[in-house]
Structure 1
Amino acid sequence: MEQIKLLDCTLRDGGYINDWKFGRRTIQNVIARLVDAGTDFIEVGFLRNVTYDEDRTLYNSIEELKRILPENRKKSTFVAMALHDQYDVSKLAENDGTIGAVRVTFHDYDIDEGLEFCRRVMDKGYPLFVNPINIMGYPDDTLLRLLEKVNRLGPYGFSIVDTFGSMTKAELTRIYSLLENNLDPKIVFGVHLHENLALSFSLAQVYLELRKYQRRSVLDASLNGMGRVPGNLCMELIMDFLNRQYGTAYDIDYVLDAIEEHILPIKKEEPWGYQTEYFLSAKYNLHRNYAEYLMEKGNLTTKEIKYLLKQLPKEKKAAFDRDYMEKLYQEHENKRVSDEESLNRLKGWFGGRKVLLLAPGKSLERPETKKRILDYLKEEEAVLVTTNFYWDGQQGGAAFFSNARRLEEYRAFRPKESRLILTSNLEGHGETADYVINYERLVGTGGEQCENSGILLLRLMGICKVREAALAGFDGFRKDGQNYMDGYFGAFPGARAEDNDRIAGCIEKLGNVMSVRFLTPSRYDRNSEAAGLRLE
């Protein structure tokens, strides 16, 4: 069906997964398979201001791009994309037929600069797709003004780009209607969908039902949906759908072979697909990195993440501003309470005593560990305090929580006669606590800042003037991710093996305030080799 065509963007959008390091042989093989499958457009990568590497799909010039293209392109047209502010268009040679189209992207805040870049591409003889980033972020009046300018420019195509994956059927219908009634009929429609809401395949079908028969259309897709997480419309699905419903003749076997040989090995190392954080970014139509950044903190409930995302002003939504998000996060965490009474009572309980602090490391599973813990508690008349969990053998003592997610998950497991110590960032839980301590007091500032719950608890013990803190289950982080005892409710996604040295340094400094010893092997223990406590 000549009015509907497919564009594969695996080698361009998929590059966000592997930093465009596909390898020359894979690049050429994927292109060859897509050509054999009858793919209409194949986007072979980005035009960028980079140092050329034959193993990456980033190119300074058409000459570099030519090196990976097959001699026999059959019915396929090769395409490249350029971000207007990341490529010097003067390096773009006059069109010699190698590239059948260039796609150009820009934001709503630099429309005129983007369209000027587009004009210069067209002046060099290239058919042009205008791909405005995040069309969902355009108010109707702004979009209509953009369409007027695009009509005057007269490009080959204009794309509906659902950058943040927030589009639903109703919104696609609204935007399609605006475009259909205001865009020059000669201009081809493009559609680029994402999987934030797991709707890309459904929306592609909706679009095909909406489109007028006369309007030529190009649907973007990628092999197995490979693209910036959560991914894109799957090429194999839309090819099969068009074959069955619209009488096209794409040879899907070549696509499936390319997926099995080249794409699935990448996906095994760097997965993509629907994930909760990208649903949240789509829900509020903002840059995916905001929700991702907050999820990686590992200590926020979904309710808290939603609250923080809703605080982002409109001008901050389209481009990720790490510093601004961190500012909102710190303001949220640093809720101040009057904690003097809690501190005085804790000092009365802990002052001058020995405490045994438990973290949920795998060393707690060792048969000898429980005996070592119980012996220490009895012999030293120590107080047991767990951090962000409850221990199965816990009787009395206290539990310290600085992580809202862990508190919610362990709420039902609170042992009888166990006291609860919370940090002030756990909004709404203060009424269940025996003590609430200002988070800001424990987290520190500048180079001393550390959000690790074990360090927060140790700092609290230092303030309470304990005589000795014995640590068990403070194993440290392993690269293979086997960091927590079985049954622990949720690993911290931001934990990295590189954090071990930083946390070890914090513990070492706290050793100047009180005696600190390790009852179980730990990567935080800088004397572990001498003590014979090296972890396997």
Structure 2
Amino acid sequence: MLDVTLRDGGYVNGHSWTTREAEAIVRAVGAAGVPYVEVGYLREAHQPHRPSASCPPGYLDALAAVADRPQLTVMVRPGEVPVSRIAELPGCGVSMVRVLVPGGAVATAAPYVEAARATGLAVATNLTRVSERKQDEIAAVIAACVEAGAHLVYLADSNGSLDPETVAAQVGAATAACPVPVGFHPHDNLGLAFINTKAAMAAGATAVDASIAGIGKGGGNLRLEVVVAHLIVRHGADLRLDPIAADQTTLATQLRMLADGTTKAVLTGLLDLNLDGAAEFDDLVAENGYDAALLTLSHR
């Protein structure tokens, strides 16, 4: 299990976590027994008040110093940071790099995978927007990720559009064809993150992403407290719920996500629209309301 509160939850608060808040989240996740925590994006440009947006060395050093912490993970989007920066990460306490594979472009991700392996880091690749892809296309990209050297391959439901049947089919096909572990990154646009995760696990996924209170992009993520409780009760997992339930660090961000509302997230999930490219949807809603936007886009 990997906690994505800081990285994916950063979309809700503009990555404005303070280092002290990040330390508290890492501490709570570690006390819960979750083995990995993703602390942000690795990028070149640093803004002092947005450390999880770029993971500057001082921020990583502070999180690495947290006692009894999980293993630290950073996410890399190819092109946003020089490949040479990967070599710095082990010295900052990072154990794993996750490399995005947007559009299935494994060739752009491969140099980062190679660099991570060369420094002794675990490396995962994240195939995004899998709801937009056919199973044979997913299988081909996964095979290329494995050939590039990925230790773990994630399928990401970026649009929050998948249902349990589709998740089971995609993950099942991936695990059947893949010699390395397969992970699942759910979003909760349609309220299906938990049941989709159960379907992914039943189909062979052995890695799962979640965040405290489900905070994250769009409709949010799988709720960490829900999946932790499920694994304790149904699978006897050596995890603890109290540290997550007791920590109040994310409360303001939870309220911000609630205040932003969920209508847009639900509808973009239903229409299988990625929020990064949903400008047309926003324009249609602004001009004519949700009903007109639904009718226009659903007939395409």
Taking structure 1 as the reference length, the TM-score comes to: 0.52
Q: 1:229 to 1:284 in 2, by over 3 A?
A: closer
Q: Aligned match of 1:155 in 142, 150, 153?
A: 150
Q: Aligned match of 2:230 in 231, 241, 250?
A: 241
User: What fraction of aligned residue pairs are identical, expressed as a percent?
Assistant: 20
| Structure 2 contact 19–59 (Cα < 8 Å) conserved | no
Partner of 2:185: 192
Matched, 1:91 2:85: yes
Matched, 1:220 2:213: no
**Separation in structure 1 between the aligned mates of residue 259 and residue 238 of structure 2, nearest angstrom:** 28
Q: CA deviation at 1:279?
A: 2.5
Output aligned runs, 1:411-430, within 5 Å. Answer: none
| SS at 1:164 equivalent | coil
Q: Aligned match of 2:67 in 61, 72, 77?
A: 72
Q: 1:301 to 1:82 in 2, by over 3 A?
A: closer
**Separation in structure 2 between the aligned mates of residue 79 and residue 130 of structure 1, nearest angstrom:** 12
| Structure 2 contact 8–217 (Cα < 8 Å) conserved | yes
Q: Aligned match of 2:274 in 277, 283, 287?
A: 287
Larger deviation: 24-33 or 107-116?
A: 107-116
Output aligned runs, 1:394-473, within 5 Å. Answer: none
**Separation in structure 2 between the aligned mates of residue 111 and residue 46 of structure 1, nearest angstrom:** 19
One-letter identity of the residue aligned with 1:113 = T
Query: Which structure is richer in relative contact order (CA contacts within 8 A, separation 6 or more)?
Result: 2
Partner of 2:176: 181
Partner of 1:42: 37
| SS at 1:249 equivalent | coil
Q: 1:143 to 1:244 in 2, by over 3 A?
A: same
**Separation in structure 1 between the aligned mates of residue 203 and residue 151 of structure 2, nearest angstrom:** 21
| Structure 2 contact 7–39 (Cα < 8 Å) conserved | yes
**Separation in structure 1 between the aligned mates of residue 46 and residue 92 of structure 2, nearest angstrom:** 24
Partner of 1:138: 133
Partner of 1:306: 294
**Separation in structure 2 between the aligned mates of residue 183 and residue 62 of structure 1, nearest angstrom:** 34
Q: Aligned match of 1:252 in 229, 233, 241?
A: 241
Q: Aligned match of 2:17 in 17, 22, 33?
A: 22
| Structure 1 contact 103–128 (Cα < 8 Å) conserved | yes
One-letter identity of the residue aligned with 1:269 = R
Q: Could you list the runs of 5+ residues in structure 1 that have no partner in the other structure?
A: 1-5, 313-536
Q: Which has the higher helix share?
A: 2
**Separation in structure 1 between the aligned mates of residue 8 and residue 212 of structure 2, nearest angstrom:** 11
Matched, 1:262 2:249: yes
One-letter identity of the residue aligned with 2:237 = T
Q: CA deviation at 1:144?
A: 2.4
Matched, 1:12 2:1: no
One-letter identity of the residue aligned with 1:169 = P
**Separation in structure 1 between the aligned mates of residue 67 and residue 133 of structure 2, nearest angstrom:** 41
Deviations 1:215-239 (A, max 9, x none): 7x11100000010131000000000
**Separation in structure 1 between the aligned mates of residue 255 and residue 279 of structure 2, nearest angstrom:** 25
Q: Aligned match of 2:96 in 84, 95, 101?
A: 101
Q: 1:116 to 1:246 in 2, by over 3 A?
A: same
**Separation in structure 2 between the aligned mates of residue 148 and residue 51 of structure 1, nearest angstrom:** 35
| SS at 1:228 equivalent | coil
| SS at 1:271 equivalent | helix
**Separation in structure 1 between the aligned mates of residue 259 and residue 71 of structure 2, nearest angstrom:** 27
Q: CA deviation at 1:55?
A: 5.4
One-letter identity of the residue aligned with 1:305 = A
Partner of 2:198: 205
Q: 1:301 to 1:221 in 2, by over 3 A?
A: closer
Q: Could you list the runs of 5+ residues in structure 2 that have no partner in the other structure?
A: none
**Separation in structure 1 between the aligned mates of residue 55 and residue 187 of structure 2, nearest angstrom:** 27
Q: 1:273 to 1:230 in 2, by over 3 A?
A: farther
| SS at 2:222 equivalent | coil
Q: 1:272 to 1:256 in 2, by over 3 A?
A: farther
